[in-house]
Amino acid sequence: MSPTRSTSDARSATGRRSGSGGGSRAGSDREASSGSRDGGRAYDAGPFLPSRGGLAAHRRAAADCRGCPLHEDATQTVFGAGPESARILLVGEQPGDQEDRQGEPFVGPAGRLLRRAAEEAGIDMDEAYVTNAVKHFKFVRPPGGGKRRIHKAPELREVAACHPWLSAELRLVHPEIVVALGATAGKALLGSSFRVTKDRGALLPLPGDEDQNGRPHVVATLHPSAVLRADDREGAYAGLVADLRVAAEALAGGGGTGS
């Protein structure tokens, strides 16, 4: 049975317009401040968040987000998707080419692999909420030109700028378990010292200013796109399933919120 979700926890899970706080990486205030300026221009999605409302209101507001320059080349904002009552929330890095075109997260090859692995691990993806640490697709063109758009990893300042949206999703959904898919998501949730190779597959507390009681735990694993690129794809996929199974078992045991 899902434990009671406290009001104080909901406040600390960072729905604040500044984008810093509870459901976030440790020391996010200083990190965002030091890493989110370019020639005096601040990168910050905070001013674009609505002052109230649920996921639908935030999704509408995110469509007009200009918190960093990534919106200039992307087709559209790709906000999270899934039920607001989801007990598990999965966070990736950023939308890919197909996600950018369709406006939905995890609808490309990596998303299909994630769904297969999650269901094999015992997670019902129809009951999960999925999102990304960065809501716009960052890409480069091939050398010499061409129409193909090649994924480029977001910079720290871009992740920090977009963090208010992720914080709001964590606050509004208030899941019991959060799955960090890859290094970018892991750092956004757990701090700059996060390493996939060191921290994956463990049930980790989500950093915050208050007691862990009532707060979700995080399970980190590979991003499914890393599985698709792996030389030993079978082994990488098995590792992804094993990590996701940790999240599924914690969810089944009701142990995700420190109760």
Q: What is the pLDDT of residues 79-92, one digit of tens each?
A: 999 999 999 999 99
**pLDDT score for 18:** 34
Show the DSSP H helices in the chain as ranges: 7-12, 28-35, 55-62, 97-102, 109-121, 156-173, 183-190, 196-199, 224-229, 233-252
**Residue pLDDT, tens place only, 189-243:** 999 999 999 999 999 999 975 445 568 999 999 999 999 999 999 999 999 999 9
pLDDT band at 169 (very low <50, low <70, confident <90, very high): very high
Domain extent for 120: 7-252
**pLDDT score for 22:** 35
Q: Quick check: is 70 in a domain? A: yes
pLDDT band at 32 (very low <50, low <70, confident <90, very high): very low
pLDDT at 29 over 80: no
Q: Quick check: is 259 in a domain? A: no
What is the pTM (predicted TM-score) of this model?
A: 0.81
Q: Quick check: is 1 in a domain? A: no
Q: Quick check: is 62 in a domain? A: yes
Q: Quick check: is 20 in a domain? A: yes
Contact 226/182 with Cβ under 8 angstroms? yes
CA dihedral 222, 223, 226, 227 (to 10 degrees): 70
- Tokens at residue 140, please? 């480069």
**Nearest C-alpha neighbor of 169 from the set 182, 178, 160, 161:** 178
**pLDDT score for 256:** 53
pLDDT band at 143 (very low <50, low <70, confident <90, very high): confident
What is the C-alpha separation between 36 and 109, in angstroms, rounded? 31
- Tokens at residue 51, please? 């002052």
CATH classification at residue 25? 3.40.470.10
Phi then psi for residue 221, to 5 deg, are -155, 180
What is the C-alpha separation between 176 and 153, in angstroms, rounded? 28
**What average pLDDT does range 142-170 have in this prediction?**
93
**Residue pLDDT, tens place only, 111-140:** 999 999 999 999 999 999 999 999 999 999
Number of domains the chain contains: 1
**Residue pLDDT, tens place only, 226-237:** 999 999 999 999
pLDDT at 35 over 90: no
pLDDT at 48 over 90: yes
pLDDT band at 39 (very low <50, low <70, confident <90, very high): low
Angstrom distances, CA of residue 213 to CA of 186, 210, 254: 21, 8, 13
What is the C-alpha separation between 243 and 125, in angstroms, rounded? 15
Q: Quick check: is 73 in a domain? A: yes
What is the C-alpha separation between 116 and 111, in angstroms, rounded? 9
Contact 157/151 with Cβ under 8 angstroms? no
pLDDT at 56 over 60: yes
Rg of the Cα atoms in the chain: 17
Q: Quick check: is 100 in a domain? A: yes
What is the C-alpha separation between 123 and 143, in angstroms, rounded? 41
DSSP classification of residue 116: H
